[in-house]
Structure 1
């Protein structure tokens, strides 16, 4: 791995690292915040998946998780949202291609070679972080925003027992039922919509996947709420499946990191309570 930077912050270290990914066949960059801790101590970890157009840097700068993570002794990891670089295909639209990997393993050309973000965030990056940083892999939580909220929910649903805690901010709950999902999953996975179901939290629940409990915050003034996010579909699926879902509709908040930063300390504390040794 290549060390990019370290900055002291709230009694911990905000670091950025780069490495060559086997999953994507490209260099990948991630941010990791490590609170101060005793020598040899291992800390719980929250994986953060970001949304459309983001890199590792958006959450690192705007999410304001560091003080809460230092307070609760939790590591926080922010990967990129897609492969990037020379030879990696792209698209002129913000909601497809680089910066919009949707945390899937693409099967369609020209995306299939590099756009393998499911393998990256589910397997490769956790193994790498576990090898090089003081994380307790028996105490993992996952969260994310928008496209990353979709990622957090689906990764957790597909990997029962791996995560003690799961939360999301303004998640795309059902790519099968929104324009963002229709565009991305058609492009990455093809026309067969049955292949999309493992990347749709509502469909996964309908097909039998379960979470112990989940926390979701959604702003009522979010411009994407009705057309793209459709929080009610997830609420209905959780109710029908008997999943303990706390879904908080936050009055007047939009889709931005101003919204996320307002409630991120709540989420870190919620995760930390469930990640206790």
Structure 2
């Protein structure tokens, strides 16, 4: 599956590639940004580990690339970064652009089972299987398919946690900024899950980190940051306390959950702790 390179930008000694390819899963073109650190380029380069970042509601690959400030930390550690899109674009489904929290820009990292979404909104399969397979095939000398971690923000934090929990061994570690940690119990999640998955709440639990972690075995290798000044946290959209409780009740080890005083939901928050999350990934990617 060939990628078209839309732009190549020098960045912290590495290269930021703005790519596009035709997805067989979403049946649309998909944009993705890839940062290759200096280690992947010097003297012909060598394979480097990969950190996938999943963005939040309304975002595109550009938002975190430009405002998250991950590249400097990744360049220093020798880690490639991947920023996928948050949904298909141009599916031309009636109503897909009417809401900021459902449809375009809000794929919720699930494979839809309901019409008319199921023919296009297949973001779980796209992120976990199709995109990495395409990237590793396109960049075999630069990207190490055996060393991959995942992180994300808000809806993307939900995606990172659930994909990690549903695919033991696929990712070396997981981290999240202000994740929607119990979507079955918040307004954002209920709206998205009803639309994409239907009314059966048993199906929702298969995409809910708070439910999935109850069956986890071994070290969780998870870092989660939440800002206490985050209005969405205060409104009950994130519910990290439910996730933390489920982890404790299941006897699962390896969760570091930090409540950062006064930080909000924005890229000011993420950029402040991006280095910690790259460091967390590096601890396991280079183990």
TM over 0.5: same fold? yes
C-alpha deviation, 1:88, in angstroms: 4.0
1:102 aligns with 2:111: no
Are the aligned partners of 2:33 and 2:61 in contact in 1 as well (CA < 8 Å)? yes
C-alpha deviation, 1:271, in angstroms: 0.9
Secondary structure of 1:229 counterpart:
coil
User: Mean Cα displacement is larger for which, 82-91 or 57-66?
Assistant: 82-91
User: Mean Cα displacement is larger for which, 145-154 or 107-116?
Assistant: 107-116
Secondary structure of 2:135 counterpart:
helix
Aligned with residue 113 of structure 1, among 116, 119, 124: 119
C-alpha deviation, 1:243, in angstroms: 2.6
Secondary structure of 1:228 counterpart:
coil
Gaps of 5+ in 2: none
Change (3 A) 1:46 1:225: same
- RMSD, aligned CA: 1.3
Equivalent in the alignment of 1:251: 261
Equivalent in the alignment of 2:163: 155
Aligned with residue 69 of structure 2, among 64, 69, 75: 64
Q: Deviations over 1:191-246 (max 9, x none)?
A: 00101111100111224466532000100000011310011011111112223110
Equivalent in the alignment of 1:272: 282
Runs of 4+, deviation exceeding 3 Å:
207-211
Gaps of 5+ in 1: none
Aligned equivalents of 1:86 and 1:97: distance in 2? 10
Corresponding pairs, count: 277
Equivalent in the alignment of 1:34: 36
1:230 aligns with 2:221: no
Equivalent in the alignment of 2:198: 190
Secondary structure of 1:266 counterpart:
helix
Aligned equivalents of 1:113 and 1:91: distance in 2? 17
Are the aligned partners of 1:238 and 1:244 in contact in 2 as well (CA < 8 Å)? no
Equivalent in the alignment of 1:143: 151
Aligned equivalents of 2:164 and 2:240: distance in 1? 17
Change (3 A) 1:86 1:106: closer
User: Mean Cα displacement is larger for which, 79-88 or 124-133?
Assistant: 79-88
Secondary structure of 2:7 counterpart:
strand
